Amino acid sequence: MAPPFRSQLARARRFPLDLPARVRPIGDASWFQSNTCNVSRTGVLLADDGGTLRLDVGVELVLTLPTGATTRTDVAGVGRVVRRGRQLGHDVIAIAIDLVDFPGDEPGVQGSPT
């Protein structure tokens, strides 16, 4: 049996979340600050970075999630830029997430007070 065409696959549900985010090309020292437009199990849509990231470039991404009234947790991931464009009058960049490091999985990214 042939695999389904992309149009036949269910699109991952998007959650409209406005979260602080940092992103940079893999191996680069400089992060740029952004905010999420939406998040799904397969990726994230961010406010545009000003054109720095090109299509298919590998990126490191850190999303800051609220975990309580006065605490937050950074969730790190690795992915690639899959789309650049406009949505609702804003420049956006779509990143497909390949790997996510949740706090507690490995030493490194930890929750911290705000």
pTM for the full predicted model = 0.76
Rounded CA gap, 1 and 12, in Å? 23
Cα-based distances in Å from 43 to 56, 68, 71, 79, 114:
14, 24, 24, 8, 25
Contact (CB, 8 A) for 89 and 69: no
pLDDT value at residue 88: 77
Rounded CA gap, 60 and 88, in Å? 26
pLDDT value at residue 93: 94
DSSP 25-46: ETT-S--EEEEEEEE-SSEEEE
Phi and psi at residue 35, to the nearest 5°: -140, 150
Q: pLDDT of 16-75, one tens digit each?
A: 999 999 999 999 999 999 999 999 989 999 998 677 889 999 999 999 988 888 888 899
Q: pLDDT of 70-114, one tens digit each?
A: 888 899 999 999 999 988 788 899 999 998 886 765 444 344 333
Which pLDDT band holds residue 1 (cuts at 50, 70, 90)?
low
pLDDT value at residue 114: 37
pLDDT value at residue 113: 37
Rounded CA gap, 114 and 108, in Å? 18
